[in-house]
């Protein structure tokens, strides 16, 4: 499949311009539960956009791609997260705290995280879409590795996978309905994000207006308003019963608002942005994501100048440790577009099925959902929700911590280890556990198992029970060493358990 280079650069620039415009428009009403009535920017902008974490965080990911390379995983992104991302609140702060305790993704985003269902991940999906244009499965994989750092197995992760897949496909598919169904194909059908999006599509098809649909989103899929503060909720929404909700359960409703804005606004950039903001909730995030998506579909040339002139083309940062980033983040939309495209060229070189070409008349027209849809709702993305997955050259090792990484004095804690081969020769694997002083493992610290060749598509799962009579450290590190008799490799898998003695015991039932 082919994508015209000039069109691609225009779409990437449209993405970043739309991101800046939407984030700026929505910032003044962020996290108010109310119907707004904006028609244009309300700030005195003086030719500059409002700094916004929606774009800031993606500058960190660009830095990671440029300095580390395109082979990123969640553990590499976690390192960059700790070094260069400055906020310490909500899911960002919880993810950082868990990482500092030694918990890798997805545990860093899942454990004790009341905000794993919130919006902090889907706002940073565009970088993955722009480096993987027309490759939604690739963009979804990057988005998953990104989101689990601070959202783990929550709805926030599903939300970023959804937006990344939709935006990646938008480089070659212009029909918004098709894009929504492509993106939904990468989600478990009954997750909250998928249910909320289907609600919007059904109500649009039924001819409901945007206000009616907005109310149904809040009626059926809402989380709490800003810390359930009534001062953040309009009297009308209080009267409608929208005054409560689960704290941090924000991604489903805000993704639904984003889709509503795109469907209602259609080809009108301003109407898309204003619809997102006028629905209330996380207005800078919904408008920024809707604006970026519109910009990918239509390109920068289609964005009216009246929306660009007040904010210009510079980038203002808020949440990035600029002092330690080298090379420094892009200062303009043009520079960001150029640097994004350079990374995309590296990635597309690995995917010859999608090529950038020079002439417009060689570009393929794509109008079939099946071309880009996931056949199994992205099952491979979500196959390790309770622990990290380690991709070695010849083997995959997956850990399952069950209900969490906590261990109490004298109580056994079970860890499941799943091994899968990537090559077509079976392997005789030897396993050895290195334990801290005073720890035991059952049934044994040494084990052997045959891992079948890859084409059998069979995995081997072993379960080990760990115990310590007197846990003395908050963070307890173990190492699993794997060797294969017929392979010149030695694999080391880190395992982390946290002291659970002070955690409350929840009674069954």
Give the per-residue SS3 of 117-164.
CCCCCHHHCHHHHHHCCCCHHHHHHHHHHHHHHHHCCCHHHHHHHHHH
| pLDDT number for residue 506 | 46
Mean pLDDT of the chain: 94
Residues 233 and 300 placed together within one structural domain of the fold: yes
Range of the domain at 272: 2-371
Which whole number is the average pLDDT over 213-241? 95
The DSSP bridge partners found for residue 416 are 400, 463
pLDDT at 454 over 80: no
Which whole number is the average pLDDT over 385-414? 96
Residues 151 and 272 placed together within one structural domain of the fold: yes
Residues 355 and 443 placed together within one structural domain of the fold: no
The sign of the CA dihedral 119, 123, 124, 128 is: positive
Residues 255 and 296 placed together within one structural domain of the fold: yes
pLDDT at 504 over 70: no
Is residue 372 within 8 A of residue 169, CB to CB? The reply is yes
Residues 435 and 476 placed together within one structural domain of the fold: yes
Number of residues written out for the chain: 509
Which whole number is the average pLDDT over 131-152? 98
pLDDT at 508 over 50: no
153 located within any domain: yes
486 located within any domain: yes
Q: How far is CA 175 from CA 180, 181, 223, 238, 293, in A?
A: 9, 10, 30, 37, 12
Residues 360 and 406 placed together within one structural domain of the fold: no
Given 371, 400, 421, which residue is the final one in a domain?
371
Is residue 497 within 8 A of residue 407, CB to CB? The reply is yes
| pLDDT number for residue 366 | 53
Residues 358 and 453 placed together within one structural domain of the fold: no
- 17 Cβ partners below 8 Å, 6+ apart? 291, 295, 300, 303, 308, 313, 333
Residues 364 and 395 placed together within one structural domain of the fold: no
> Which one, of 312, 309, 307, 315, lies nearest residue 290 by Cα?
307
pLDDT at 503 over 90: no
| pLDDT number for residue 361 | 55
Instruction: Encode pLDDT of 356-396 as tens digits.
Output: 888 755 445 555 677 899 999 999 999 999 999 999 999 99
Residues 418 and 457 placed together within one structural domain of the fold: yes
Given 318, 337, 371, which residue is the final one in a domain?
371
481 located within any domain: yes
383 located within any domain: no
Query: Could you give the percent of the chain with pLDDT greater than 70?
Result: 97
411 located within any domain: yes
CATH number at residue 156: 1.10.4080.10
Given 310, 342, 371, which residue is the final one in a domain?
371
| pLDDT number for residue 1 | 84
Residues 92 and 165 placed together within one structural domain of the fold: yes
384 located within any domain: no
Residues 366 and 393 placed together within one structural domain of the fold: no
Instruction: Encode pLDDT of 35-79 as tens digits.
Output: 999 999 999 998 999 998 889 999 999 999 999 999 999 999 999
CATH number at residue 421: 2.60.40.10
Instruction: Encode pLDDT of 323-334 as tens digits.
Output: 888 889 999 999
Instruction: Encode pLDDT of 465-490 as tens digits.
Output: 999 999 999 999 999 999 998 778 89
pLDDT at 507 over 70: no
> Which one, of 334, 233, 330, 214, lies nearest residue 278 by Cα?
214
Of 86-95, 100-109, 311-320, which one has max mean pLDDT?
100-109
Residues 304 and 160 placed together within one structural domain of the fold: yes
| pLDDT number for residue 476 | 97
378 located within any domain: no
Which whole number is the average pLDDT over 424-440? 94
380 located within any domain: no
pTM assigned to the model = 0.96
DSSP structural state of residue 280: -
Query: HSE-up of 475 (CA within 13 Å, CB side)?
Result: 12
What's the total number of domains in the chain? 2
pLDDT at 494 over 80: yes
Instruction: Encode pLDDT of 177-224 as tens digits.
Output: 999 999 999 999 999 999 999 999 999 999 999 999 999 999 999 999
The CA-based angle 490-495-497, given to 5 degrees, is 165
Which whole number is the average pLDDT over 433-440? 97
């Amino acid at each position: 499949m082919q994508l015209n280079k000039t069109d691609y650069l225009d779409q990437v620039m449209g993405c970043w311009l739309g991101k800046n415009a939407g984030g700026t428009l929505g910032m003044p009403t962020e996290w108010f539960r109310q119907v707004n009535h904006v028609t244009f920017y309300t700030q005195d902008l003086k030719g500059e956009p409002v700094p916004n974490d929606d774009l800031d965080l993606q500058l960190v990911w660009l830095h990671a791609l440029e300095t580390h390379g395109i082979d990123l995983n969640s553990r590499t992104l976690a390192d960059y997260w700790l070094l260069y991302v400055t906020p310490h609140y909500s899911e960002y702060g919880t993810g950082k705290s868990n990482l500092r305790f030694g918990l890798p993704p997805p545990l860093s985003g899942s454990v004790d995280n009341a905000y794993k269902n919130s919006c902090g991940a889907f706002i940073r999906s565009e970088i993955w879409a722009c480096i993987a244009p027309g490759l939604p499965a690739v963009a979804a994989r990057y988005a998953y590795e990104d989101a689990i750092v601070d959202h783990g197995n929550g709805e926030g992760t599903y939300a970023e996978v959804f937006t990344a897949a939709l935006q990646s496909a938008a480089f070659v598919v212009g029909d918004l309905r098709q894009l929504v169904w492509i993106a939904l194909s990468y989600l478990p059908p009954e997750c909250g994000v998928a249910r909320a999006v289907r609600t919007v599509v059904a109500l649009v098809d039924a001819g409901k207006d945007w206000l009616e649909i907005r109310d149904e989103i809040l009626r059926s899929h809402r989380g709490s308003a800003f810390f359930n503060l009534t001062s953040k909720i309009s009297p009308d929404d209080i009267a409608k019963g929208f005054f409560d909700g689960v704290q941090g359960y924000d991604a489903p409703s805000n993704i639904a608002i984003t889709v509503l804005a795109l469907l209602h606004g259609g080809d009108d950039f301003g109407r898309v942005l204003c619809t997102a903001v006028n629905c209330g909730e996380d207005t800078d995030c919904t408008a920024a994501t809707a604006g970026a998506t519109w910009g990918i579909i239509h390109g920068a040339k289609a964005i009216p100048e009246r929306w660009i002139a007040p904010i210009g083309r510079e980038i203002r940062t808020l949440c990035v440790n600029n002092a330690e980033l080298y090379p420094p983040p892009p200062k303009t939309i043009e520079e960001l577009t150029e640097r994004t495209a350079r990374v995309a060229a590296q990635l597309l070189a690995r995917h010859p099925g999608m090529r950038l070409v020079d002439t417009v008349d060689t570009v393929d027209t794509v109008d079939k959902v099946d071309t880009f849809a996931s056949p199994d709702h992205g099952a491979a993305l979500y196959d390790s929700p309770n622990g990290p997955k380690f991709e070695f050259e010849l083997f995959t090792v997956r850990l399952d911590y069950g209900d969490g990484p906590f261990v109490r004095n004298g109580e056994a804690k079970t860890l499941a280890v799943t091994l899968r081969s990537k090559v077509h020769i079976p392997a005789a694997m030897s396993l050895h556990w290195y334990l801290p002083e005073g720890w035991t493992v059952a049934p044994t610290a040494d084990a052997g198992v045959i891992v079948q060749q890859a084409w059998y598509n069979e995995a081997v799962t072993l379960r080990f029970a760990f115990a310590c009579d007197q846990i003395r450290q908050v963070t307890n590190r173990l190492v699993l060493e794997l060797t294969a008799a017929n392979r010149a490799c030695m694999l080391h898998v880190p395992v982390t358990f946290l002291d659970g003695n002070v955690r409350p015991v929840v009674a069954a039932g």
